[in-house]
């Protein structure tokens, strides 16, 4: 069945550092891939998505490229801010979620 594996957290970075959160998946076919973010005390909200191989999703400085050959959808941001501190979830077909990666950005 479908599954998503995310890197363990927490990830602690200083402001303006480069961010990578790894996500790999197992699925049949060509599933849509998502990154959702959960800020403290809130529900999840969509950060970006990609619906086919080689698509790049981007939003608020975050990017992720759908790599079918490596079954990956890694999240990247060139310069993180304190306001990016949250839990990030990689998801497959919108129903299967990774365990979440907590990001803490220090000023």
Partner 1 sequence: KAGVTQTPRYLIKTRGQQVTLSCSPISGHRSVSWYQQTPGQGLQFLFEYFSETQRNKGNFPGRFSGRQFSNSRSEMNVSTLELGDSALYLCASSSGTSGSGSDTQYFGPGTRLTVL
Residues near partner 1 (CB under 8 A): 31-32, 34, 36, 41-46, 49, 51, 89, 92-100
Closer to partner 1 by Cβ: residue 8 or 16: 8
The residue assigned the tokens 């080689």 is: 54
- Please identify, using beta-carbon distances, which residue of 18 and 39 lies nearer to partner 1: 39
Nearer to partner 1, 80 or 90 (CB): 90
Q: By C-alpha distance, which of 64, 31, 26, 29 is closest to 46?
A: 64
Compute the distance between CA of residue 18 and CA of residue 12 in angstroms, rounded to an integer: 11
Kindly state the smallest distance separating residue 92's Cβ from partner 1, in Å. Answer: 8
Q: How far is the CB of 94 from partner 1 (least distance, A)?
A: 5
3 state SS of 96: strand
Pick between residue 6 and residue 105 the one whose CB is nearest to partner 1. Answer: 6
Min separation Cβ 15 and partner 1, Å = 27
b/e per residue 23-38 (b: at least 16 CB within 10 A): bbbebeeebebbbbbb
């Amino acid at each position: 069945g479908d599954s998503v594996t995310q890197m363990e957290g927490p990830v602690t970075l200083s402001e303006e550092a480069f961010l990578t959160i790894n996500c790999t998946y197992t699925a049949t076919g060509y599933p849509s891939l998502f990154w959702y973010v959960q800020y403290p005390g809130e529900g999840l909200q969509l950060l970006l998505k990609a619906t086919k191989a080689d698509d790049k999703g981007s939003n608020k400085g975050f990017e992720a490229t759908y790599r079918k050959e490596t079954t990956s959808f890694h999240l990247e941001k060139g310069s993180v801010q304190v306001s990016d501190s949250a839990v990030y979830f990689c998801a497959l077909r919108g129903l299967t979620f990774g365990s979440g990666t907590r990001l803490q950005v220090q000023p």
